[in-house]
Amino acid sequence: MGKFYLLLFFVFIFISARAQDNNGPRITALGNAGVALQDVWSVKSNQAGIAGLKRAFLAAGYENKFGVKGLSNQSAVFSIPVKDYALGASFNSYGVSDYNEIKTGLTLARSFGPKLFLAIGLNYHQLKITDYGSAKAVSVDVGVQYQAFPNLWLASHISNPNQSKYDNNTDQIIPAHIQFGANYIFSDQLLITTEVEKILDAQADFKAGLEYKLVKFVALRGGISVNPFKQYAGFGVNYQRINIDFAVSSHPVLGYSPQVALGYEF
Amino acid sequence: MSFKTKLFLLFSLLVFSKVSFAQTSDDPDIEYIIESIASNQTQDYDYSELIDRLTYYKRNKINLNKTSKEQLQELVFLNPLQIDALLNHIAVNGKLINVLELQSIKGFDLETIKNLLRFADINTPSGFENFSFNKLFKDGRNDLLVRYSRYLEQQQGFSPAKSTSTSRYLGTPERVFTRYRFAYSNNIEFSLNLEKDPGEKYLNGNYGPDFSSASLYIKDLGKVKKLVIGDYSLQFGQGLTLWSGLSFGKGADIFTVAKQDIGLKNYTSINEFSFFRGVATQINFGKFDFTPFVSYNKIDAGLALNPLTNLEEISSLQQSGLHRTSSELKNRRRISQLVFGGNLQYNYKKLSIGLTGYHSNYSQDFAPGNSVYNQFDFTGNSLNNVGINYSYTLNNTYFFGEFAHSLNSGIAYINGLISSLSPTVSAVLFNRNYQKDYYSFYNQGIGESSTAVNEKGFYAGLQIKPDRQFELDFYSDLFKFPYLKFGVDAPSQGYDIFSQFSFTPNKTTRLTLRYQFQNKQQNDTQPTYTNVLAFAKKSNYRADLLYQVNKSFSLRNRIEIVQYHEENKANRYGFLAYQDVIYSPLSSRWSGNTRLALFDTDGFDTRIYAYENDVLYGFSIPGFQNRGVRYYLNARYNVKRGVDLWMKYSLTKFNDQQTVGSGLDQIQGDLRSELKLQLRLQF
């Protein structure tokens, strides 16, 4: 049975070179167009975003991939502001019992005034396949966010620019990619975010998402990405210091991937 | 021709365009409305009915203080939220006293108001308030229009037959259209259309002109809100159960995907298919409106003998309305069709619910499909349809939907919403599910296919209008066809992405950029032992610039590029560029426009469509394929008050072609030119 999932897994990897990471339900529901957002889950999409957070956050999420039993993403993120700096940490475990990928990240972000955030992240990757062994690697992320106008954020993010790999015996890649994006805040109720992403050796993707606050504590979200064409939807409920977010993404061939996360604001 | 040459030519056109040319024609406002809603302009649908409707309201303006939701919906450019906001404003604040009040209504931007006031006002007289037969003939207005057009080159079908067995067109090569309208205020309208197509005879036996259509339409006579005797159309809900005549698909105006049903209307189009002939009325009982109808008509169909029962069965319904050869004439009005039923509509404040039910009966049975893909098609000779539709506005959101069922077979449903998320951002979402065995002969539900059958999908659209200058429209649509289709031998899917940006820096300049991408499955054209599906991708890029040079002259340029990609095949491209000169002086008897277009495409899959100016009520969106040049000159001359003349000359010259067209339409040589003349008398 494990072999079957292993096979399935490689099918998924083939179709989506980035399936092994997860940006949390809020950013996922926005079509993964999260590069210009400020959220605790920014530690995974663009580390610079955590420099915009005034308080410490902790969140944990679970995503099931394509309705396949046992194939999941389990993740946790944390960020804390320290004067002009912010520190962040992330953890993500992806796979099935016989195949597992773990990514652990540490982030240092700094705000240069209220309009400019910079960040650098360090990631430790572990890959483990039953009967085949394991491999390890380290990669670097760099991100920037800039508030060009009071309601417009521009951002850019580069992952693994030095193209570090597990080792020569492993074909599995750590994708090198670059993202540009903008987030436009129309009102307290509405924001629209977009992102262009280019993964090295894969096609460029355009993503867009929309978040609408029905009432102050309930947000509805939707998004798309065009390459492959995927649709996303989700909602978030904020009750005092607790956030509950839900998202589902729809792949035209592989089907639905639901996810949920619980967050706490200190 | 290389790309550089084309650019150079285009540039020279820009420079020299002021020199050659002549005068204006139809209405630029109406043209803009049509271009924004015509469903991506990929279907050759005749929107002349819409031009007719808008031109009518331009002359007989709607009284906003006495109007109804249905009437406002006829002005296709208003979205449901705007209509509700306007009616709500009048209900709360009383009658509009000044048109300036419109600016205070939520969702009404200046462009919408400007558009609306072209077709509506606040104190136009209406109603039978002081009606008499004397007045009817004194104040009634007559409008008579005759149009003549023909290709100047001889088509194969008109050449002498080589033998008696060769098929030839039996009639004459011209198209003649006669249109008469009588209108009294906004309440009584009599319409008559007579038409013969090229190749048809003037008189078919003793029946008169090839196509004739007439109707008497009476509005607002006490409880009788509408009454039509003659030809009429019916549009209810979202078009799944019953919708005939004009309808829109996915287009640049994202709001038109939510259909705005206008119920009963007189039929004034010259499409020879999909209308009713008989009597229908809409009667108002307070919050309820009841629309019963009955129709009996003969329609075109191909028949085939069923070897088992030895009975004739309907093998196909013919929608073209062409009766040129003896075989086409044989199928003319060959079967009879009886349709009757009704619609009950409940309207209370912002809620409306409608129930529709009708029965259709044909004189012959429909033959069962003989291929795998059409084996779920309708068979038999009678069908019962029922449907329920709703719309409801809650705060900033308009909900709409319909559920339809053909008795003893499948179902179809659609649910959606339009929401104004902020003053500058509006969103449209809808979900649809149409079963493969859902049947309706009057089904125009929104989707990738033109009828709501065998399709599931989800559409999301967004419009951002930060101010008067900028507008961004965007939509994406995912569709799945759960069963086979013609040319697609397996369940298939695809998606469609559209974005359009328009910039209007001032009243006389508009720049539009458009990008559309469609990816869908079809049978792989590579020969294999069995058909497999492959993705075909099509990208469209368009730039369009319209600007006014002075009070009389406007110029317009467009460049459009299409890229078509099939798996395992080289990319194919299409290119179209044109220059328009539009002359519309305030005080001259002459007006007109002219266009020179260059096209260079790699065949049918990369053809490009472009709206073309035409004589009034004329309509054309030709598709360009292969290589060549198209030119037209369109002029209007106002002889005196109430007498107008139109003339259009167009010419298409193809490079490296020995013939133009195919079959009986084929022309020897590389040129096809057409002349159109039109005379209108208003009295």
What is the biggest distance separating any 2 CA atoms in chain A, rounded to whole angstroms? 55
Find the CB nearest B421 among A189, A208, A252.
Answer: A189
Q: Which of B421, B459, B472 has the most A C-beta neighbours within 10 Å, making it the best mutation to test the interface with A?
A: B421
Please name every residue paired with B193 in a beta bridge, in sequence order, or none if there are none. Answer: B179, B213
Band (B273; pLDDT cuts 50, 70, 90): confident
For residue B39, the distance in angstroms to the closest alpha carbon of chain A comes to 22
**pLDDT, mean over chain A:** 88
What b/e readout covers B448-485, taking b as 16+ CB neighbours within 10 angstroms?
bbebbbbbbbbbbbbbbbeeeeebbbbbbbbbbbebbb
Measured torsion, CA atoms of residues A108, A111, A112, A115, in degrees rounded to the nearest 10: 140
Residues of A with CB under 8 A from a CB of B: 186-187, 189-190, 192, 208, 210, 212, 222, 224, 226, 229, 231, 250, 252
pLDDT at B126: 59
- Identify which of B113, B119, B115, B112 has the alpha carbon closest to the alpha carbon of residue B101: B113
Q: What is the pLDDT of residues B296-345, one digit of tens each?
A: 999 999 998 888 888 889 988 888 888 898 888 889 889 999 999 999 99
- Chain B hits for A190, CB-CB cut-off 8 Å, are 421-422, 425
Average pLDDT along chain B: 86
Cβ contacts of B517 on chain A, cutoff 8 Å: 226
CB-nearest partner of A229 from B419, B422, B495: B495
Contact status, residue A143 vs residue A156, Cβ threshold 8 Å: yes
- State what percent of residues in chain A have pLDDT above 90: 65
* B117 min Cα distance to partner chain A (Å): 30
B462, A210: Cβ pair inside 8 Å? yes
Inter-helix orientation angle B48-59/B28-37, to 10°: 140
Residue B10 has pLDDT above 70, yes or no: no
Q: How far apart are CA B594 and CA B556, in angstroms?
A: 10
The Cβ of residue B283 has, within 10 Å, a number of other Cβ atoms equal to: 15
For A82, other C-beta atoms within 10 Å of its C-beta total 10
State how beta strands B120-121 and B62-63 pair: parallel
Quick one: angle between helices B110-119 and B48-59, nearest 10?
A: 80
Instruction: Encode B233-280 in three state secondary structure.
Output: EEECCCCCCCECCCCCCCCCCHHHHCCCCCEEEECCCCCCCCCEEEEE
A231 and B462 within 8 Å at the Cβ level: the answer is no
Confidence of residue B247 (pLDDT cuts 50, 70, 90): confident
pLDDT tens, position by position, B455-480: 999 999 999 988 888 999 999 999 99
Q: Do B421 and A222 touch (CB under 8 A)?
A: no
pLDDT given for residue A140 in this prediction: 93
Q: How confident is the model at residue B43, as a pLDDT? A: 46
Q: Which CATH number fits domain A2-265: 1.10.287.130, 2.60.120.10, 3.40.50.1360, 2.40.160.60?
A: 2.40.160.60
- C-beta atoms of B519 and A229 within 8 A: yes
- CATH class, B62-121 region: mainly alpha
- Interval B554-597: pLDDT, tens: 899 999 999 999 888 889 999 999 999 988 887 788 989 999 99
Give the amino acid at A202.
A
Fill in the DSSP letter of residue B612.
Answer: B
> Cβ–Cβ of B422/A187 closer than 8 Å?
yes
B411/B231 Cα distance (integer angstroms): 29
Q: Are A211 and A219 in contact (CB under 8 A)?
A: yes
What mean pLDDT comes out for the span B490-505?
A: 92
User: Number of A:B CB contacts under 8 A?
Assistant: 40
Using an 8 Å CB-CB cutoff, list chain B residues near A226. Answer: 476, 497, 517
Search chain B and give the residue with CA nearest A213. B421
3-state secondary structure B432-453: EEECCCCCCCCCCCCCCCCCCC
| Angle at CA of residue B6, ends B5 and B7, nearest 5° | 90
Distance to chain A for B421, nearest Cα, Å: 7
Report the distance separating Cα B573 and Cα B563, nearest Å.
5
Can you say how many angstroms the Cα of residue A246 is from the centroid of all Cα atoms in its chain?
Answer: 14
> Is the pLDDT confidence value at B550 over 80?
yes
Domain ranges of chain B: 62-121
ipTM associated with this complex: 0.82
What angle (nearest 5°) sits at the alpha carbon of residue B271, between those of residues B175 and B375?
A: 125
Shortest CA distance from A226: residue in chain B: B497
The pLDDT score that the predictor gives to residue B28 is 65
Q: What is the pLDDT of residues B179-202, one digit of tens each?
A: 999 988 778 999 999 999 999 988
